[in-house]
Structure formats: structure tokens, C-alpha cells
Structure 1
């Protein structure tokens, strides 16, 4: 009985003890679960933090990949010949955090690349940076040598490198790129400015799937022009030479060369002062080439005709200044005679007859009073008179006291050959219809006819005779300008030019050949443009005219140019009645 009672009394106690134990176990389990939950939250939070935190090494790597992967489109000539293209090269990089011993790494690298043995490289390798460049554009041999060293934290990355198959041939046109394949000069910079740089920034130009950029350049003509310039510099021991070929109907630059030049594959050469782009960035007093523009202005305002006569028997005196002729005829001259004998006196009197206001206006029309607008970033500003006094008007009439770039002069000359319309020059393809939409009339068609007549006449009977290639109807105007040295005109240093157009019955192309400080080819030979710039132009013309599709034919007399124009052949002959027997 007592046992039963004892057992019955203990049951509630046992139940209470069991429940207490059960509650304790559940509490411990709950606490453990809470702990694990907190650990999980911390773990996940840390993962999120790590995911959101910048990884400098990865960021640097991605930036490097983006930089080197940026591709450029091929640049081709008008016939599809490659002028510039991308090739793959290898560059050396380091991840300093993975470099075990910066001193040892620098020492090993310097055994292949001595420049990497300096303190700066050691400090960079010992830094906490995630990614650094060590050497861009390695040769395969150097890459193999460094690879065999097996240095931890050192690696290679493929990237794009610009390659110019022609080397020097079109250097000043194409310009160049920097080590990151970004355009820094010439058409390469212009292409970036047209949107390529934006595509790179947005990541849309990472592979070589870009359309080629076609230019107006004809590689055949470009090569011939440059080749003749190089030979001329050597033959005449000149400082430099320039050649430009323009399509007068579209303004397209078919060729442009300035020597000395540089290899586009070695852009460091371009930094040398004597290798500047003289065709667009250089400005020169071009001498008697400017008589073309002065006489054109006088024709256009109606101040002269082909029969007009100006006194060239005595020097032209303006105040304390006197203007002389180089090979004076010492008699009155007609306008055609002034042109072919290149009379400074006669041209000065023509300029004074139209006045400083008209001269300034027409020089502005010709584009001489402001910087040239074209596709190249390298453009020189002209040096123009501050005031247009009589002496300034007279001297600028024959190309002294005003300096322009050869491309400016060529573009203005093209307008006088195409009927009187100024078309800005371009290095990209342009159709005649596109050119017609942007052309600006600067002189009347009859003025263009007169200038074509004078150009052809000068090649037949004047200073351009050595460029009168049989069967090709070339015309042109010479220019011999004394160089300014130390603020004074030099008597033995010239800038000589010849501006030619062809074929003269309907000009399609214009050539400007300029040679800086030529020496006589042989002892006793002349130094004027007729002795060097004209033969240089003739050599270029003989090579390029067949390439341009200009076929030889029967020579056309100058008078025939105007036979159906505003002046009759009889009128032209009247203006030339005194030429017979003169040199």
C-alpha cells in the first residue's frame, strides 16, 4: 500500500523533471540554431561585402584588357590598298602582389631588358598594386627569354599595335597612334574625332570588325610624288621639299608629301623638328606664284584685260622703297608678258590699280587670311599684313609679306582652274555632286578662262617651259621667294615653287611642287624655280599623268583655250604681239 502511494507520489515529480530536461535541451538547440543563424548572416554579409568591395587587381586587369583590346579600322587608299592596319603584339605586365621577391624579379628582368633594372621598377614591383605595365610591344624573342626566366607574378598580354605597310610613304597624312592605339596625329586623330574614341569608351570597338576608312589618296601617285621629292632634295642639296596633287573638281587630295618625313611605325621620329608636315602646318612666302592670284583678282574686278599695258621700264617706287624685276625687260609689258616674264614691277602696278581693299577682299576669298579648314589637325596659321598700305599691296602681289601653307595656295589655285569655285580640300572621298553642294564661287568663269590661258602660255613661252611635256598640255606658274633669315631677306636662300595644272583644255588636276633652299645642281647653274622646282614638277608629272588616265594627244596652243570663250584668239594674239623672239 505504501509502495503504491510512494510510486504515485513520485510520478508528478518525474514528469516535472523530464519536462525540465526536455525544456533545457530545446533551449540549447534553439541557442545553437540562433548561433548558427547569426554566423550564417555574418558569413553572407561578408560575402556580400567582398562582392561589393573593389578588387584592385581585378579592376586593374579589366582596365588593361579594355585598353589593349581596343581595335582601329584599317585605313585604305581610294583603290582599297591598305595604308594602316592593326596587328597583334605582346606586352609585359606584373601583378606586384604575386611577386615573391621584387629585387630578384627586377634583376632577372634586367638581364633581358636592362631598363627594368632601375630603382623605379623595383619599387613598382614591391608595391601593393594589382596590375602594372612593364614593357609594351615586345618582340617574340624577348618574350621567349622572359618566359624562360619563370618569374612569379610576371605575365604577357596580347594587344593591338598599329602597322603602316608603307612606312614613310604617307606619314604626314596618316599621322600616328600612341602606345594605347589612340590617334594622336594626322588622319588617325581625325578618325578618333569622328567617333572611334567614343566607341572605344563604350566598349563597342573591341575586335577588328570595323569598316575600313577609305581616303582620297592614290597610293601609286603618293609613292611617285614622294620618290621624286626625295631625289630632288638630294639632287639640289635642299632643306626640304613638298608635293601636293589635288582633284580640282572635287577638292580631293590625291597625294601630299613633305620631306624629310618619318617612318609611321616609329612615331618618335615625328618629334624631330625638321620632319614637320610642311604641306599644311608650314607657312611660306611663295613668291611669284602669288602673281596668279593678283592678276586673277584684277581680271575679276575688270581693271585689266589681256591687252592692258603697264610700264615696267623703270623700278616701281613707293616712298623710300623700290621694286625691281629679276630679269627685267625694261619696257612696257602687256598682262600676258607680265605673267610669263614674272615681272614684279608690272604685277605691283596691277595690284595698285585695284587697291588695297580689293586685294584684301580677294585674298580672303582665296582663303589666305585664315587657317585652312581640312581633315588634318596639323594646320598652320597664315601670316598676313596688319595693314594694307601701298607698299604692302605691291609686295604681297608677288608673294612677299604674306605667308600661307602650300595646301592653301594649291586649293586657291584649283579654284582658278575649275571655273572659279573654291572647294575645301579633303583627304576623304568626295563626288563631284557632293563638291558642287559646298563649292563657293570666288571668281567669274571668264577669270578662270584667262588664268588657264596664262598658265598654258607660261609653259609654252615663259618660265615654265621645262614642264611643257609634249602631248599633255601642262600649264603653270613659277615662284622664287627669298627666305627670311634673322628678320631679313636672304640673297642666297630661296623657297622655289611651281604650280601646274593639267590638261589645260579642261583641267582635272593641280600639282604644287615646292623646294626649300635648293642649291645649284651644277656649278654656275641657276637657283631660281625654273632651274629646280619646274624640273621637279616635270618629273612628277611624267610619272603620274598616265596613272591618272591622262592620255597624250596633239599639243594645244594657249590661244585655243579662249577661242570659244569671252576673248577671241585674235584678241589673245594681240596681247602677245611683242613676244616673238623674246626669252
Structure 2
């Protein structure tokens, strides 16, 4: 049996060679190499490799998915690495900062790490009592990985919350928009939301002009963006708003507004509406009384529309500056057109303007005709939405069908509602030689303005209108808007407001439009005041007693900053020589 086992055993050759006599040569069988056999564990090796590749393939795929698809937690984590979004500064024409970013801390929670939601809620309420405890508790007790609790904390609030030592509570450094001037230029600046994105005013314009695209691509977080320069002059802006505040108190009005515009370039140097709001706390911006009345409100502008009626009549060639019109009241379509304070005699074209004759203006419009009247106001931009960078711009209103009575009442400012901004732009075109220049809140050179201006009235019409402006500024209703040395000419407007479907004699919307120096206008100033009361000792509450003095005060205070030197005539020159 042993022999048979050895014959079948693989060890047989090895045993034979080991038992051979010493010194004898090895047999051929003992030197033959063994045939290679495949390893028995090869399938297991392939399976292990396959599993390894599959596991790491899944991990790689998940990384790709996480990189391509975001959620709030991912955004929070990745934005924390890249840094908070930085907006470009807004500066005035002289480089003074109007809006900038500052760092602030925001409070968040990781609910999965909160040990006791009840205790954490009570602790946070001791520092932030204005939080809604139900909302806070719901967020802290949720199963989410991230939840905002409060954005934009003060440094003191952050320190007090840190002292509480609540696990699962953290802070993220963010950027908050800061307006050093507070409400000084609120309606021009606009506002941003809690994520530092522009939602109104020039802040929204910046986002719509490409900054939002930079935000989405991540190129807005490096802090190297150039400041955006505006056309505003912060010094003049302060003066305009200061005069509005003073006028509101003096005349016990419900609102006021004003602007200063460069008639050669269309730049808005200052624009304010009061009541206003502080863009550092923009929640008040939505209050009805804080409406931007200069560009976002429409009003019947009263007798300021006689600027355009007179210019239209002269530019049509059907009326000469020396023509005389009857001012006798007359009826049209069942309505009587009469004077507010008639002179009881015929008036020349300059006198119609100076004495603000409703009848004379209506007769001028009648000569031009309905179609010509509508075409002229359209040409002046008074019947369409004004185009500018500011998003808050209202659409004017007009009759659906123009009839003769409509044309005649529109001639003296009843029947069409426009924004004060477009009224100022159209008046600037009358004063600057007859060129319509779109308004802008960005810097614009004279050469750039010349490239886009459009002639709307002739040079002769503009020259004649400047003479009429000056007459009214020196001896008409605009005398109180004419401070010594600056020669302001323009037109007042006192419009009765519509109350319960009827014009009310006790509720007025007053305005004044003036250009200076009227010999060769460079700037136009407009003021409005809503429902002013009669000042003690004055005859009435018409525009000559409130809106016009507001313009005079603005010109007197701002002319130096606008590089307009006073001219006191021969008497002034003699005084300077004597000194």
C-alpha cells in the first residue's frame, strides 16, 4: 500500500532524487520543471478590485453632484470660504461716499446640534427679545442642518450671545450696506435687501447693469470693484433736502420735493422728496407718505404748464410775442373758462405768462389746435414715461380722447398729470436753446449730451421764452425766487387738487420751475409743496408765497457750490472796485 501511494504522490520524484547514490548524476525526471498552474484565488482578487472601484466611483459621483447642485447649507458653507458679497461703493460727483459696505455678523443655528431647543430659545430671547419665540423654537427643534435666526447683529448682541455658550449656535460674517448721509439722498440711493442685493433706486440700477451677473458668477466677492460715481453733488443734495424740511414745517404741508438739474448735460445734481426714510433701515420706504414724489408721483402741475403752452404758441408760428389776446371768460362744452385773478383787459403774450392768465393760455392753445397741442407735449416728453436710470418712474396720464375742452384746460395745467421730473426736463429744453436732453443720475459731459440731444423748439422760441421767464422773475409771481445777484426766471403753478371727484379750492399742489442765471441758463431748479397752509401775514397759500421762496433759498445757498458767481450789475462792480 505504501508503494502504491508513493507511485501516485507528487513527492515521488523528489524522494527518488533524494535517495540516489551520492555522486551519481540526477535523473532526467528530477530536473524537469513543474508546469505553472493558475492561482486558485484569482476570482476573489478581481471581485475585490471591482468593489474598490465601485466604492470610489460612488464617492466621486457624489462629489460631482454636490459641486453642481446647491442647497442652502452648501451655499452657506461655500460663500463662507469665498467671502461675503461686496457691492461697489456709490459716490457723488466729487468722490464723497454715498453708500458703502461694512462687515456685520449674522446669527445661525445647526438644529441637529442643539441639545435643548426650549432652553436655547429662552436664552436667545434674553438678548433678542423682539424675535418670535415660536419661530425660533420651531427652527431650533427642526431636523435641518442649518437655519437663520437673525441677520445683521450689532457687535454688542454678538458678544452677549457668545457669552451664553449655546452649542449649535454660530455667526457668519456678512456685508451690510451703510449710507453715511442717512436719508439725505434716500430716494436716489434706493435700498438693498438683507442679502445685500439692490431692490430700489440706483442700488437696483447697479444690479441690473451687470453687478447681479457678477454676483452669480462669484466675481463680486473680491472687493476690487470700482466705485460707481453718480451725478449728485452731496452738498447741494443736503441743501435741497434741508429746505424741504424747513418748508414742511413753515407751511404745515403734507409733502414737499425739489431737484436741481444741469440744463446743458441733463445731469441731476440733487433730487429729494420729503417725507423720506433712512436707507440704513429701509423698512419705512414702503410707507405711502414716503413716496418719491419727484419721479414716482404724477400730479397736475398747474400753471407751470403755461411754460409749454406759451412756447408751443410761439414755436408754431401762429402767435408772435407781441400778439394780444382777450381775457374775457367764455364757455366751451358746458364749462366756463375764467381767470383766477383777472386784469379785466386784453393781455400780450408776456403778460399772459406774467399774470398767469387761464383764458389767454386757453386761447393760445385753441389757435394751435388739438392735434398740434398733443404733438407738442409728446415732443417735449410730457405724455410718455421719462427714460432714466432710476427705476421708480411713473407714467403720466392724459385724456383717452382729446377734445377742445381738454386742450384748453391742459393749456393751464388741468387734465394732464405728469411727474415733476419730466416737467423739469421739458422746461430745461425750453431754457437751454431748445434741446431735449434725457435726464441722468450718472456723470455726463457736454460732448456726450450734445451727441444725444434733440431739438424740440427753435432757438428763437427759446430766446423769447428766456425773456418771458426773466420778466416773471423780476416783476411777476416769481419775484420771491430771485435772490439778489443770481437772476432766476421761471413760472409758478398753483393747482387745485381733486377731492371726491371735484377740484377743491382748499387743497392745493404748488410748484415753481426756475432757471438761472436766466441770461444764459446753466441750472434749473424745481420745487413742489403739497397742501401748504397760508403763512401768517401772507395774502394766500399760492405758489408765489411758498414754492417760489423755496427755489430762492436753494439758489442762494447752492450757487457757490455750482460755481455760479453773483452779478450785482454796475452797482456791485463799483462796490468791488472801492474795496
**Structure 2 length-normalised TM:** 0.89
Q: Which residue of 2 aligns with 1:572?
A: none
Partners of 1:60 and 1:130 within 8 A in 2: no
Please state if 1:489 is matched with 2:503.
yes
Describe the SS at the equivalent of 1:168: helix
Q: Which residue of 1 aligns with 2:291?
A: 276
Q: Which of 388, 407, 410 does residue 402 from structure 2 map onto?
A: 388
How far apart are residue 33 of structure 1 and its match? 4.8
Q: Which of 412, 431, 436 does residue 422 from structure 1 map onto?
A: 436
Q: Which residue of 1 aligns with 2:266?
A: 251
User: 1:86/1:350 Cα in 2 relative to 1: closer, same or farther (>3 Å)?
Assistant: same
Partners of 1:74 and 1:83 within 8 A in 2: yes
Partners of 1:502 and 1:509 within 8 A in 2: yes
Q: Which residue of 1 aligns with 2:165?
A: 150
**Structure 1 length-normalised TM:** 0.89
1:43 and 1:57 map into 2 onto residues whose CA distance is: 27
Q: Which residue of 2 aligns with 1:74?
A: 89
2:103 and 2:151 map into 1 onto residues whose CA distance is: 12
1:453 and 1:544 map into 2 onto residues whose CA distance is: 24
Q: Which of 18, 41, 56 does residue 44 from structure 1 map onto?
A: 56
1:148 and 1:456 map into 2 onto residues whose CA distance is: 69
Partners of 1:216 and 1:426 within 8 A in 2: yes
> Where does the alignment leave 5 or more consecutive residues of structure 2 unmatched?
16-33, 571-579
Q: Which residue of 1 aligns with 2:389?
A: 375
Please state if 1:534 is matched with 2:548.
yes
For 1:231-250, list aligned pairs within 5 A.
231-250=246-265
How far apart are residue 69 of structure 1 and its match? 1.4
1:377 and 1:110 map into 2 onto residues whose CA distance is: 39
Partners of 1:106 and 1:116 within 8 A in 2: no
> Where does the alignment leave 5 or more consecutive residues of structure 1 unmatched?
557-583
How far apart are residue 119 of structure 1 and its match? 3.0
1:85 and 1:11 map into 2 onto residues whose CA distance is: 99
Please state if 1:179 is matched with 2:179.
no
1:67 and 1:173 map into 2 onto residues whose CA distance is: 31
Please state if 1:267 is matched with 2:279.
no
Which structure has the larger Rg over C-alpha atoms?
A: 2
Q: Which residue of 2 aligns with 1:476?
A: 490
For 1:158-173, list aligned pairs within 5 A.
158-173=173-188
Q: Which residue of 1 aligns with 2:314?
A: 299
Partners of 1:473 and 1:555 within 8 A in 2: no
Partners of 2:6 and 2:12 within 8 A in 1: no
User: 1:260/1:32 Cα in 2 relative to 1: closer, same or farther (>3 Å)?
Assistant: same
RMSD over aligned Cα, in angstroms? 2.6
Q: Which residue of 2 aligns with 1:365?
A: 379
How far apart are residue 321 of structure 1 and its match? 1.2
1:402 and 1:45 map into 2 onto residues whose CA distance is: 71
Q: Which of 11, 15, 34 does residue 15 from structure 1 map onto?
A: 11
In terms of mean alpha carbon deviation, does 145-154 or 237-246 score higher?
145-154
2:54 and 2:397 map into 1 onto residues whose CA distance is: 74
2:193 and 2:559 map into 1 onto residues whose CA distance is: 37
1:18 and 1:423 map into 2 onto residues whose CA distance is: 112
Partners of 2:513 and 2:524 within 8 A in 1: yes
How far apart are residue 305 of structure 1 and its match? 1.3
Once the two structures are superposed, residues 49-84 of structure 1 have per-residue CA deviations (whole angstroms, 9 ceiling, x without a partner) of: 554564968624336538971111000000000000
Partners of 1:57 and 1:129 within 8 A in 2: no
1:196 and 1:16 map into 2 onto residues whose CA distance is: 89
Report how many aligned residue pairs link the two structures. Answer: 548
